[in-house]
Amino acid sequence: MPIVLEPIGYVRTAAKDIPRHWVFSDVEGTLVINKEYLKGLKDIKTGQSIVVIFHFDRSPTFNHSYMIQMPPHRKKKIGVFSICSPIRPNPIGMSVLEVLRIEENIIKVRGLDMLDGTPILDIKPHIEDETSCPSYKGGSS
């Protein structure tokens, strides 16, 4: 069964040197979300962390020779599902970004590890524990 995903927006950044992982990134940029999804951005706040799911649209096509890879910061080969390589069977990435501000359908963020023009597939709240979950009511159910 094919799975079809459509971008909800795109990354914009002037940065040319993009870190390989959001944990090491101070790169700023914007998430330009398609206006048809504007209502869905309600309640995203300055200072919060969001999880951005994106498509590695410029990665090489995966084949079985990429099943084991050697990341540039490692000295040994590692299985693809144990690393954050953009060369994957399904080229989907995930980053946790800090929201600097939001205006209409534009989210200014810090921590980018995505190239300019990267398609955004989804945005989710960053949940560290049950109290940081937006739907958490507390107590037992």
Tokens of 78: 């590692």
**CB neighbours of residue 129 within 10 Å:** 7
Give domain status of residue 77, yes or no.
Answer: no
Give domain status of residue 37, yes or no.
Answer: yes
Tokens of 15: 């940065």
Give domain status of residue 97, yes or no.
Answer: yes
β-strand 68-69 against 78-79: which pairing, if any? Answer: antiparallel
């989210």: which residue's tokens?
107
- Residues of the domain holding 98: 9-59+90-128
State the CATH number of the domain containing residue 99.
Answer: 2.40.30.70
Q: How far apart are CA 109 and CA 11, in angstroms?
A: 10
Give domain status of residue 96, yes or no.
Answer: yes
pLDDT in tens, 12-52: 999 888 877 787 788 899 999 999 999 999 999 999 999 99
CB 110 within 8 A of CB 20: no
Number of domains within the chain: 1
Give domain status of residue 69, yes or no.
Answer: no
pLDDT in tens, 68-109: 999 887 889 999 999 888 899 999 999 999 999 999 999 999
The secondary structure of residue 60, as a DSSP letter, is P
Give domain status of residue 68, yes or no.
Answer: no
